[in-house]
Amino acid sequence: MNAAYDHLETDPHLGPLIEVHGRLSIEPAEDFFERFVVSILRQQVSMASAAATRERLFDAVEVTPARILAADDQLLQDAGLSEAKTRYVNNVAAAFEERGWSQDLFAGMDDDAVRSELTDVAGVGPWTANMQLLFSLGRQDVFPVGDLGVRKGMETVFDEELTRSAMIDRAERWRPYRSYATLYLWRVEEDIAESVAEVVGED
């Protein structure tokens, strides 16, 4: 962590944000599967909608791979999941059960290998895979260029509209600690700063 901040605190774009928000940490999730499910709930909906669905789902069923697979689809949909997200959550639960997905399994893989494995399952796109790298596995150099909050943060700190390729180019200065940079980009906008950990993204 100290190395990350030695690198980033002198950056003219991130330095002021670090001064305001302090040194943020990146740690693996306590429950990988729960975090994965939350990411699916946050695909292409508002934060408020995702939070409400999360609360209903976690009240309705114990969120483990076995319990999700055993639950009736109607129970999941009554909690607020669409038919598509019901399939996605079940697909991910099956992958945990059948492919042995775990933090230990992915610890031996580089970021691209993890992305390839995760996106092999229907319902897991690049954004959701990146959220697992960052929030579930605690990887230090994730830059979710497709994330709306990251785009807004980049355009604010650089004071111009940016294409995805331009965002990737600008973010090179933060390598190999782009995960930390991402945390601060999300905090540029007030509504995003109020988020506990993730923002809503697209897959």
Give residue-wise pLDDT tens across range 104-158.
999 999 999 999 999 999 999 999 999 999 999 999 999 999 999 999 999 999 9
Q: Do domains 2-26+143-193 and 32-136 have the same CATH topology?
A: no
Its pTM stands at 0.90
Bridge partners (DSSP) listed for residue 201: 43
CATH architecture of 2-26+143-193: Orthogonal Bundle (1.10)
- Nearest CA-CA partner of 157 in 182, 191, 130: 182
**What pLDDT digit, counting tens, does each position of 34-83 carry?**
999 999 999 988 888 999 999 999 999 999 999 999 999 999 999 999 99
Domain boundaries along the sequence of the chain = 2-26+143-193, 32-136
Q: What is the CATH number of domain 32-136?
A: 1.10.340.30
Q: Residue 191's pLDDT band (boundaries 50, 70, 90)?
A: very low
Q: Is the CB of residue 30 less than 8 Å from the CB of residue 4?
A: no
- Confidence band of 1 (pLDDT split at 50, 70, 90): confident
Q: What is the pLDDT of residue 192?
A: 46
| CA–CA distance, 19 with 17 (Å, rounded to integer) | 5
- The separation between the first and the last C-alpha atoms of the chain, rounded to the nearest angstrom, is 29
